[in-house]
Amino acid sequence: MAGQRRAPLSPELIHRRALSIARVLDFPPGTFAGRDQRAYLIMAHLAAMPSIADKGQRHRYGNEVLQNANALMPDSQPQNRHFNFLLRSHVALMQELPAWYSALTKSNTAIVDDYLNLKLITGGMELAGMGSLGVAAVTSGAVTGGAAAAKGVSGARQAVTAVARGAMTGARNTVTGGMAGSMAIVWVVGSVAYVALQSRMTQLGHEITRRYQAHTLPAALYQKAFGDDVPMPEQFPGRAR
């Protein structure tokens, strides 16, 4: 959440998460061997793509994924070509998919699985420093930078281009978390998707907790979602398990 500092993930945990999300997306592990962190970051953003409802914005997001993937794992390097080929295929399909929405009428097992999948996806996106993002943090950097770039620009087409470039510049520090080197790439649309997924994850977390407190979700599923070390919330009285 906004203002929180998250401990960096260990290489072992990044490796396990990269393998997990690769299984979901059908990326053979050999296509990114030795490049787990970069691949996990790319695949996490790819997996978030169907959550964008607007087709035009989803198309822009897909292009952002491809552009950033080429910066992180250049297609010019032979070891990255198979991974990038699969990535392009996924992006092309996801750009045409309908929005990814989940109703809260799902079963207990399904809602916990949804929560864990979102945790895996947002965890990968946080490799780009998104762990401290909030709605205000994302929009303010992009909007301020875009407005500043538009000053003194004549012509509608030139103004739109200036706003877009300015938004990218203004959002850079926000959406990369100040990371340096080749990992410091800009995720403008991706940062908006991250905030939306965090909101969805919070919603699911509240629903899981509500069901447990109402005695309609077993303790084992609650612990599967949040971990065995998380204190169990107090349950509402008067309801049989």
Q: Give the model confidence (pLDDT) of 148-183 as tens digits.
A: 444 454 444 443 344 344 444 444 444 444 444 556
Please choose, from the candidates 67, 45, 14, 141, the residue with its C-alpha nearest in 3D space to the C-alpha of residue 133. Answer: 141
Q: Does residue 237 fall inside a structural domain?
A: no
- Distance, in Å, from the CA atom of 62 to the CA atom of 91, rounded to the nearest integer, reads 6
Token pair 């780009």 is found at: 128
Please choose, from the candidates 73, 18, 70, 82, the residue with its C-alpha nearest in 3D space to the C-alpha of residue 47. Answer: 18
Residues in CB range of 173: below 8 A, 6 or more apart:
141
- Distance, in Å, from the CA atom of 40 to the CA atom of 43, rounded to the nearest integer, reads 5
Residue 74: is its pLDDT beyond 90?
yes
**What pLDDT does residue 131 have?**
65
pTM: 0.73
Region 86-105 average pLDDT: 72
Indicate the number of domains in the chain: 1
Q: Does residue 125 fall inside a structural domain?
A: yes
Q: Does residue 238 fall inside a structural domain?
A: no
Residues in CB range of 192: below 8 A, 6 or more apart:
138
Q: Does residue 3 fall inside a structural domain?
A: no
- Distance, in Å, from the CA atom of 141 to the CA atom of 26, rounded to the nearest integer, reads 35
Determine what percent of the chain is predicted with pLDDT higher than 70. Answer: 69
Which secondary structure element, helix H or strand E, spans residue 118, and what is its range?
A: helix 108-125
- Distance, in Å, from the CA atom of 4 to the CA atom of 140, rounded to the nearest integer, reads 18
Q: Does residue 235 fall inside a structural domain?
A: no
Residue 39: is its pLDDT beyond 80?
yes
Q: Token digits for 24? A: 């979901």
Q: Does residue 218 fall inside a structural domain?
A: yes
Q: Does residue 232 fall inside a structural domain?
A: no
| Residues spanned by the domain of 52 | 11-226
Q: Does residue 41 fall inside a structural domain?
A: yes
